[in-house]
Amino acid sequence: MPFKLAIDGKPHSLTILARRPQLVVAVDGRRHVVETVDAAGDGRRALTIDGAETGFVRAETVEGALLRIDGRTIEVRRLDAATEASAAGSGAHLVRAPMPGIVISIHKTAGDSVRRGETVITIESMKLQMKLDAPRDGEIAEIGIREGEGFEKDAVLARLAAPASEG
């Protein structure tokens, strides 16, 4: 069964083709020979991939890992069956804060039905007001914040109920 990861929302699948004598991994069908595989754990590490030594720095996150590799920082997220289903399905269930700020007004309460693009919450951030819209048609399951409250970037401010079809 392939192992699924995503970079910038783009899914990739890793399949182990061989474990011995060397680890061979296919990434989206591209074959790579991997040596020095004791590269678990965070921090500065090195792997030999296709004969070339690759140094990198890794930090584990809740969603996956952050990597500093080839002079750039890359965020890799785990794609499990559930998140994949919601990504492929009718869009996210969550209304997330795009940046830190405070809530100016809340336009919906739990149980309200919303149309995609309808404003759920108005926030203020960087002295600018911004409307946060429902990502899809559905029903508000929960509003996770009150007017006047502050939040960090990526905080979940509201959640939509999962559509019945997704079970």
Partner 1 sequence: MTPSPAGAARPVPFRKILIANRGEIACRIIRTLREMGIASVSIHHAVEARARHVREADEAVEIAGETPVAAHLDIARIIEAARRTGADAIHPGYGFLSENARFARAVTEAGLVFIGPDADAIALMGDKISARQFAEEHGVPVAPSVMPTEDLPDFLKRAAGIGFPLLIKAAAGGGGKGMSIVRSAAELEGAARLASSEAQRYFGDGRVYAELFVERPRHIEVQVLGDGKGGAIHLFERECSVQRRFQKIIEEAPAANLSPALRDEICASAARLAAAAGYRNAGTVEYILGADGRFFFLEMNTRLQVEHPVTEMITGLDLVRLQIEIAAGHGLPMHQDEVTAHGHAIECRICAEDPARDFLPETGTVLHLDVPRAPHLRFENALDRGQRVTADFDPMLAKLVAHGPDRASATQRSIEALRELALLGVKTNVDYLARVLEHPAFAAGELHTGFVAEHRNALAAPELDRQTADRALIAAALGMREFHSLVFDVPEPHASIGPWRN
Q: In terms of CB distance, is 17 or 110 closer to partner 1?
A: 17
Q: Which stretch binds partner 1 (CB under 8 A): 32-40, 83-91, 110-118, 135-143?
A: 32-40
Residue 86, H or E segment: helix 81-88
Q: What is d(CA 102, CA 128) in angstroms, rounded to the nearest whole number? A: 11
Q: What is d(CA 165, CA 138) in angstroms, rounded to the nearest whole number? A: 12
Q: In terms of CB distance, is 25 or 157 closer to partner 1?
A: 25
Q: What is d(CA 146, CA 154) in angstroms, rounded to the nearest whole number? A: 16
Q: Give residues in contact with partner 1 (CB under 8 A).
A: 3, 5, 7-8, 12, 14, 16, 19-20, 23, 25, 27-28, 30, 32, 34, 37-45, 47, 49, 54, 56-61, 64-74, 76, 78, 99-100, 126, 152-153
